[in-house]
Structure 1
Amino acid sequence: MDYHPKKLLTIVCEAVLEVPLTRDIQRLGAQGYTVVDARGGGHYGVKRAAWSFDRNIRVEVICEPDIADAIAGHIASSYAQDYGLVLYIGDVGVMREGHF
């Protein structure tokens, strides 16, 4: 089977960012995104998501490299200083190129 190369941009951040972040993602050219609740532990301690203000989300975007770079740059300049977040990018292969 042939796969088409894309980038997978993953952002783990405070749930309060969901609306502005997903709006920015679409404005910067991504065709879509996936948002799921996220829990875990790390540099900032344990996130159990027991309260709404303590929740984290994971946002995943599959897109072209230039769009991933634009989104990552925007997040770094607009949100990273004031919110807890982790951002990483990796290579993926997708089955349906036109969906991304």
Structure 2
Amino acid sequence: MDTKYAQKIADYLKLDVHDKVNQLPGGKRKALSIKCDFEKYDLLVFDYHGVSADQIEYLENMVDVEIGKEKCAIVIDRLECNQEIETNKNSIRIEISTT
């Protein structure tokens, strides 16, 4: 990835290009990973593991932008922080239970 392209992604995510990836907070690190993968692929499967509840909305907004570009995402998450009604018009909720 060239420097100009990396700067574009960093600006989009409001990151400093000199920050070390392993020192980014969980949500920012996950956002960087997802954004870079969306640049290469049209379909992603990922989870929100390691992302605090207050950062999930940030990630969902970023994913919505990519879905608006006709890309697709399957997101796996535990239901602890889930809202009663899905408010995201681009999402279809599927709940799978082992009980």
- TM class by smaller structure: 0.3 to 0.5
Query: Which of the two has greater helix per residue?
Result: 2
TM-score, normalization by structure 2: 0.32
Q: Flag the structure with more relative contact order, 1 or 2, with Cα contacts below 8 A and sequence separation at least 6.
A: 1
Larger strand proportion of the pair: 1
